[in-house]
Amino acid sequence: MLRVLDVGLERCLALHSAYIPVPRHRKLSGKAGIDEVMAAAVLTSLSTSPLVLGHPPAAPAPEPGGDVWKEAPAMSSSCSSSSNTSGDWSWDPPSDRSTPSTPSPPLSSHVPSAFLPTPLPDEGPDEPDGTHFIFGEPIPRKRKNSTKVMFKCLWKSCGKVLSSSSGMQKHIRTVHLGRKADLEQSDGEEDFYYTELDVDVDSLTDGLSSLTPVSPTSSVPPAFPGPEAPALPNPDPVLGVPPTPPGLCHVHTDHAYQGCPAPPQPPVPPAAPALPPPKPPSMPRRPRGEAKKCRKVYGMENRELWCTACRWKKACQRFLD
């Protein structure tokens, strides 16, 4: 017993002494100011130019004054936890905790639900046709222009459109699924019954008016935007596919990584009066993994304890969703 502790302590000390000289850690607490915003803006605008036309920003040692690397007082606890021997140290919540609960509730039936496959850095539906490849304008990647994300209920004869996902979830939960509204326990099922669409702010009203009511019985032309969106006649995969609901592929059971290329077709069951088909399974979208990742678990202080992926700002490998 004592020996174990000893080892842990030793380990801890070693860790500390080893990491003191670490030179990085630029700024832990970023105080966001106008400066940063403006700088960001400038950088953004600069990024469009092919090369860095300013002064070389190469500055290997930006902080001559000294970095503020304060020891986290929480170290003690992590130390004790590191007493976990047996080869793989693996992550181990401090056993001191009176609560034996698991650090991240597995959420039995709740599959983490899929996630949005990055909303496609498209230009937005401003282009009259697909000719936004004027070389004169590189436009590396720009996201939101004048589009606004709306959420449309796909329930058979509802078609309600809200501006917030939470609101839509609530709507579906209460109105269609008949669940309690305030119950935070959303198992993600609502996700299946609404989709999000990029609405051009300009033609917002127009688009909405044609989007909202919709009679489900009348055959909805699968691939024709039809009346709405006169500005984007073809849903070409070239760049922008605004009306395509990205969160509707209930195909895979687990890692639905690639978005579904399926055409915009209402996934509404053909003849479902009010009963949702018992289908909570796949995850059409993943809002954000519930599991805490290395960063959250260990904190910035113990970055060395993160899995490599996390250290490299890649998808965490240790705490998979």
Partner DNA sequence: ATTGCCGGGGT
Partner DNA sequence: ACCCCGGCAAT
99 binds DNA (CB under 7 A): no
φ, ψ of residue 40 to 5 degrees: the values are -60, -45
Choice between 179 and 292, CB closer to DNA: 292
Shortest Å distance, C-beta 31 to DNA = 6
Dist. CA 306–CA 304, nearest whole Å? 5
31 binds DNA (CB under 7 A): yes
DSSP letter assigned to residue 40 = H
Letters for 237-276 (x = contact with DNA by CB under 7 A, - = none) are ----------------------------------------
User: By CB under 7 A, what part of segment 35-94 binds DNA?
Assistant: 40, 43-44, 47
User: Residue 242: how many CA atoms within 13 Å on its side-chain side?
Assistant: 28
120 binds DNA (CB under 7 A): no
Residue closest to 189 by CA, chosen among 128, 247, 270: 247
DSSP letter assigned to residue 3 = H
311 binds DNA (CB under 7 A): yes
Dist. CA 46–CA 138, nearest whole Å? 12
Q: Which of 118, 131, 219, 258 binds DNA (CB under 7 A)?
A: 118
Letters for 121-150 (x = contact with DNA by CB under 7 A, - = none) are --------------------x-xx----x-
Which segments within 92-171 are labelled E, that is strand? 147-153, 161-162
Dist. CA 13–CA 149, nearest whole Å? 51
Residues that bind DNA (CB under 7 A): 24, 26, 29-32, 40, 43-44, 47, 116, 118-119, 141, 143-144, 149, 165, 287-289, 292-296, 308, 310-316, 321
